[in-house]
Amino acid sequence: MEDQLQAGEDELVIPEGWRRQLYARRGGRPGPKIKAVPSGGAELRERAMQLEPAHWEAVEPASAKAARDYLDGDANALGAAVLGKMLADAPPHHGAVGELAVPLTDAWAADHGAPFAACAFVELATLFDHSGIGTIGGRIRNMLARAGDAEYADAVERLAAYRDTPTRRVSVSFLVPTREDWVDECCAAPPDPVTESKSWWLLYSALGSRRQVEMIAHHGPVLSYWWDRPFLVTMMDGAGAAIAPLLAEAFDENQGFSAQRTKPFVEALSMLPGDEALQALLDRADNKLVKPLLVAATKRFPERARRLLPSEALPGGAGRREDGLPDAPPAALPRPLADPPWQRAGERPHPAPVEGLTPPAATRMRWLPGERDAWSKTDHRHREPSTDDWDALVDEFRRGRAGGYGLGVLTYGPEEEVRPLLGAWKPQLWEAEMWLRPTVARFEADALPVALRIAEADMKGLGDRALPFLDAELARLMAERLNRPKKGRDVALAWFDRHGLDAVPLLVPAAVGKPGKPQREAEDALRLLADAHGTDKVVDEAARAHGDQAAAALHATLAIDPLDLLPDRIPPVPDWADVQDLPQIKLRSRNDALPADATQHLLPMLAISSPMQVYAGVGIVKEACDRASIASFSWELFQLWRQHGAPAKDGWALAQLGWLGDDETARRLAPLIRAWPGEGGHAKAVTGLDVLTAIGGEVALMHLYGIAQKVKFKGLKARAQEKVQQVADNLGLTSDELGDRLVPDFGLDATGGLVLDYGPRRFLVAFDEHLKPFVTDEDGTHRKSLPKPGAKDDKELAPAAHQRFAALKKDVRTVAADQIRRLESAMIAQRRWTAPEFRRFFAEHPLVSHIARRLIWLAEDATTFRIAEDGTLANADDEALKLQDNATIRIPHPLEFHDTLTAWTTLFADYEILQPFPQLGRTVHTLTAAERAARQLDRLQGLTVPAMAVLGLERRGWRRGGAMDAGLQWSIYRETPGGLYVNVKLDPGMAIGDLEDRGPQQLQVIRLDDHPEDGYWNGTRIGRPFGDLDPITTSELITELTEAAS
């Protein structure tokens, strides 16, 4: 862009990335260098030898003879083209002639020169009338553009003989566009735009003047679907701004296609000088693809933009910094902005290395309480071998031939014989997933080699099997993975958290040793430990293991100013990130703002940061600035990134929302995260989850939890659930317990209400059974909606109150359905709370209390009660009830009401209390004595369920079995609260690629098991009696399957 700004506004400047795709014209801009391979002819003949007789028989005899003559060494252009077409039609190309661009052109040029290659191309273009020949013709055109004068003249002379039809004339003009008279002739009598449309791209690529463009303009953009970047940049290079109307019309014609197809048209328009191009962008400014490119064009051509647009309509936020706060003086600026460390001369400070140190060689184990016992337990997959010939089984294991149940030697075989063999065991990943935990639990340190190999191969998936080991090589690996989030950073963090200061001696030799990648990784790991345990403790451990010199070097390393910890290269700030297009950043507790140059220094700090390691200066700047102001700046920076196509190389523009954003950032970002996977942005959405986690606080975590509970994209939902579990683990909570704590009070008062003050009048906010807010006058009269502020209302209070209610509705809408669904799930799962938790999260919570009051609750002594309007508790006789602090509370299922169900139903009807989900009126099912003893649920077997209804069961916790041969899924299963599984065999099974392809599914067998049927159905299993399932879960699963069948 800098070149463009420095050039005149009437000069076309083509970016380097586009220029490299140019089909060059002689005497013009250089295209890519073409170097023909001398052995090209030999390679082509070798390919020809592999042609089947049928390929030769499919060609007319004269053409076949020409091809054989060419193979025999004759300069037969027709033969060269025929052979090229035969090779393109044969496997593996199947007509994709463009895949042969290099071998064909290299062979033609190597055998007989570039002029011959040009003639062969014209013949090929006559045989092949599609865009695939563009790469072949473009390669030859680039050869001719760089050819010597005599060779070029020879090519022009030879090509003159091929100008006998309109299509061949345009093929010739494409190759030698410097013959403007020939191009004029093509424009005057072009190929038929209907029957010969596939030749028009050759004509467009030959255009060299506005006059020629105007000669064919009335035909419009012929076959514009084929217009790719090489073609577009060639048109731009030849005809310049004159092609703007054609590009605009082509963009409009292709609106039904993907952004990948249509975006190049407007990219080209944004580069073209001239009023036509800029006006075409302005006319389409509402299109999401056009908007960022219009911004780029106004920056490339600022004078033209000012002339065509009034100043207030200029895109990109021009002038936002005008008429704002005054610039803060230098003394008030945060240190990294006043004196950016990366602008100082000199190398990064680092103490002299200490060489000759080695880490402790011993391997130690650190198990969490109960962990080794848990790892020792086997399940149905770990069967004992079918033979007791342990000598033979151990020998198979030694020779690497043990597989399947033969690996049972690891858990059941003679320990003294298996232990020496573990170091050489190289399991496949699926074998390690199944057998490594019990192996580590049994053999401990002797299993380190295999655990280390598996961790290195799949740290993210199986690296947790190495967590109990404390070992130098493992410490090196964990330090290396700390900065690789997709390669096991979470596992590495867990390892360092487990081993703490004991890991210090293992890392010190590298951290104080020779500079390089291992040294930086060890240093980063020790900084992590210093942050967690204190620098002094880390240095003390280093001194105990490696002496005072190593400890002093480590202390000096850890004492380096974090602002001086910079990467070797500071990335350039991208052109789109212009601080003049961004709002000012107000300093905290001051009435001035960061100057533009100081704000500009903030951008490199963000660019060198990552979610794993945010540059220290970012936190310093954030602390010095007004929280809302810097969050607003952060959001607008993110929006600029999006407007410019969200380039992946500048992904920090999304990540920085987590470092500088606030609650409002989380509210704005959450809907985008939910939508991105549907737009092909799954990776971006996953990064968005990291941003919500980094923002932290109740609002951000509430949105994260909401995505984990309900979003239509499975992959995103699973990643959100992982994030929620990580947050919960860090707090020592379950994900459900975290969910209890993530419901904000939204500023409601202790009674769960809100007063909206308009000055002379006030309105009260309340909530219905679905947590939908509504408004009443002060006398209790319901209003259909909150009125807009009027002329008599307070000019400040009324608009603020109106805005406050709009924000409340938006926030509550985010959590309402999730809270109702969560409480219903808690009823089914029989989840329990202590009395203090019940009061805090339900009875006294300003928002949740509105639905908690509409439910019946159960104390551990079988007393049912409700929460009255005044917050007191009452039983089924409407008598006051006092809850003991040591009581346990849950939401009862109707099966548990016994003789109070009728009383509660009557009371709720009398008080006109509507429930948020069916509790009192819930459908219930019970098993007969015979069904409780049975091992299959006969009453539902044979029911037919539509395929989409089977899919719908996943919303209730059912899962489909794994896809087997031909992608068929033969079962669904559901885990129950007691750890058992209800397995259902489907007939005829579902095809994973097309769920409705095999029609409705019959519930053929319904069985209770200890584990899921997640692959082929095992008909030999007997299952467990359905009486082993608790009555509530039984009732719910019968309801779920019955409703699915209906």
DSSP per-residue string spanning 658-679: HHH--HHHHHHHHHHHHHGGGG
300/303 Cα distance (integer angstroms): 9
Q: Pick the last residue of a domain from 540, 564, 588.
A: 564
Cβ(953)–Cβ(980) below 8 Å: no
- Asked whether residue 956 is assigned to any structural domain, the reply reads yes
Indicate whether 724 and 770 sit together in one domain. no
For 833, the domain range is 754-910
- Asked whether residue 11 is assigned to any structural domain, the reply reads yes
Q: Pick the last residue of a domain from 708, 741, 774.
A: 741
Indicate whether 111 and 87 sit together in one domain. yes
Indicate whether 16 and 85 sit together in one domain. no
State the pLDDT at residue 132.
67
Q: What is the CATH number of the domain that holds 1018?
A: 3.30.310
Indicate whether 803 and 836 sit together in one domain. yes
- Asked whether residue 747 is assigned to any structural domain, the reply reads no
β partners of residue 625: 587
Quote the tokens at residue 671.
Answer: 């809907």
Stated as kind and residue range, the H or E segment containing 762 is strand 762-767
State the pLDDT at residue 608.
95
Indicate whether 659 and 791 sit together in one domain. no
- Asked whether residue 209 is assigned to any structural domain, the reply reads no
State the pLDDT at residue 542.
96
Indicate whether 856 and 953 sit together in one domain. no
The number of folded domains in the chain is: 6
291/932 Cα distance (integer angstroms): 66
Cβ(689)–Cβ(720) below 8 Å: yes
Low-confidence ranges of the chain (pLDDT < 50): 1-7, 312, 316-323
Indicate whether 593 and 466 sit together in one domain. no
State the pLDDT at residue 95.
56
Residues 6+ apart with CB under 8 A from 246: 204, 213, 217, 220, 221, 235
State the pLDDT at residue 110.
85
- Asked whether residue 332 is assigned to any structural domain, the reply reads no
State the pLDDT at residue 2.
35
- Asked whether residue 86 is assigned to any structural domain, the reply reads yes
Residues 6+ apart with CB under 8 A from 66: 76, 78, 79, 82
State the pLDDT at residue 322.
47
State the pLDDT at residue 457.
93
Q: Pick the last residue of a domain from 706, 741, 776.
A: 741
Cβ(763)–Cβ(777) below 8 Å: yes
State the pLDDT at residue 310.
62
Residue burial 300-311, b: 16+ Cβ < 10 Å; e: rest: bbeebbeebbee
DSSP-based three-state secondary structure for 788: coil
- Asked whether residue 784 is assigned to any structural domain, the reply reads yes
Indicate whether 794 and 835 sit together in one domain. yes
In terms of Cβ atoms closer than 10 Å to its own Cβ (0-12, 13-18, 19+), residue 802 is middle
Indicate whether 817 and 790 sit together in one domain. yes
Indicate whether 884 and 933 sit together in one domain. no
Q: Of 912, 918, 904, which Cα lies nearest the Cα of 875?
A: 904
State the pLDDT at residue 98.
65
- Asked whether residue 570 is assigned to any structural domain, the reply reads no
Indicate whether 390 and 524 sit together in one domain. yes
Indicate whether 613 and 686 sit together in one domain. yes
375/365 Cα distance (integer angstroms): 14
